[in-house]
Structure 1
Amino acid sequence: MTVVDWIADWPGAALLRGSATAYLLVNAAHILGIGLLVGAILPLDLRLAGCFRAVPLAAIGPFLSRAAAFGLAAAALTGLWLFSVRPAAYIGNAAFLAKMGLLALALCNVGLQHIGPGYRAALAGGAVRPATRIAAGISAAAWIAVLVAGRWIGFV
């Protein structure tokens, strides 16, 4: 038995394949997680990139960052569950592979941004460094690209 077969045989996958209601609810939770992620990360990225300068980063940054992390966790868990319904088909789907690559890029960018001193300094009320602005722009573009690639999956 391959890993793909094991994933497809997981009881959670069988539940979604056998129940339109369960699939609907997990899919809705996935969309909610994506909405929370993108709805939190884009305003934060825009603020870091230089928009909305009247809004203090120290006030909104920690909240938006945590909201995005919660949305990411919900989207990832429900996304893995949805993937389990047809793993072999998704592995062969160019849009799914593009989404996974873009997701890896977006997550690496977040990791680098959060370990860098510029992000922490900006959240503490300091000036936003040019590297932090660039990383915020990359983040916004990457998360939008992940979203578009995710929608593309159903059309390939």
Structure 2
Amino acid sequence: MLELFNWLSGSALAQTLTMSPRLYMFVNAAHILSIGILVGAIIPLDLRVLGFFRSVPLNIIGPFLSQTAMVGTALTVAFGVMLFSVRTKEYAANPAFLAKMALLALGVANALLFQVFAPWRQRPVQNCPTALVRVMAGLSLVTWISAVIAGRWIGFV
């Protein structure tokens, strides 16, 4: 793992971001906007699965919000790796960063599993998700909100 951190911190990407505060600022802003896309999609989806907004058909909003959350996650990870490359050893030793990474892994694993049980994939489409799917949505809600909190905590540890 140390070899990967050394390679990443010595990469052209890390050097460019280190030498260009403006570029670093734009990558940081893109990371935050990507988190907004992720959380802005996943919270309404989780709330709908948990029983809120019942007038909105799950088979219509579910696939759209799920795909939007996937795009947000991919962008968040891509920009996050760029930011990580600038201070690999610092971040790797930061308990808040480690908590964020664990929560990110849990959130992604839960989201991938959720795709298997997604109510809009069932035939006939279930507008009232099963108890398992509701538990997964609750776990998702707590996990992603906690990941955002852990991310903000990084700068204070």
Scaled to the shorter chain, the TM-score interval is over 0.9
Using the size of structure 2 for normalisation, the TM-score is 0.94
Q: CA RMSD in A?
A: 1.7
Residue 50 of structure 1 aligns to which amino acid in structure 2?
A: G
Tell me the equivalent position of 2:35. 34
Q: Tell me how far apart the structure 2 counterparts of residues 134 and 37 of structure 1 sit (CA, whole Å).
A: 19
Q: Tell me how far apart the structure 2 counterparts of residues 122 and 147 of structure 1 sit (CA, whole Å).
A: 35
CA apart distance, 1:119: 5.8
My pick for the range that moved more, 28-37 or 105-114, is: 105-114
Using the size of structure 1 for normalisation, the TM-score is 0.94
Tell me the equivalent position of 1:9. 10
Tell me the equivalent position of 1:127. 128
Residue 114 of structure 1 aligns to which amino acid in structure 2?
A: Q
Unaligned runs of 5+ in 2: none
- Mapping of residues 84-103 of structure 1, within 5 Å: 84-103=85-104
Aligned residues with identical type, % of pairs: 47
Tell me the equivalent position of 1:141. 142
| Contact 2:41–2:66 under 8 Å retained in 1 | yes
CA apart distance, 1:137: 0.5
| SS of residue matched to 2:86 | coil
Q: Tell me how far apart the structure 2 counterparts of residues 41 and 83 of structure 1 sit (CA, whole Å).
A: 24
Q: Tell me how far apart the structure 2 counterparts of residues 16 and 42 of structure 1 sit (CA, whole Å).
A: 32
Q: Residues 31, 123 of structure 1: CA spacing in aligned structure 2 closer, same or farther, 3 A cutoff? A: farther
CA apart distance, 1:2: 2.5
CA apart distance, 1:118: 4.6
Tell me the equivalent position of 2:26. 25
Unaligned runs of 5+ in 1: none
Residue 110 of structure 2 aligns to which amino acid in structure 1?
A: N
- The one-character-per-residue Cα deviations of 1:80-130 (angstroms, maximum 9, x if unpaired) are 000000000001000000001111111111111111265622993443111
CA apart distance, 1:11: 0.5
Count of aligned residue pairs for this structure pair: 156
My pick for the range that moved more, 121-130 or 71-80, is: 121-130
| Contact 1:27–1:82 under 8 Å retained in 2 | yes
CA apart distance, 1:14: 0.6
| Contact 2:107–2:143 under 8 Å retained in 1 | yes
Q: Which runs of 4+ in 1 moved over 3 A?
A: none
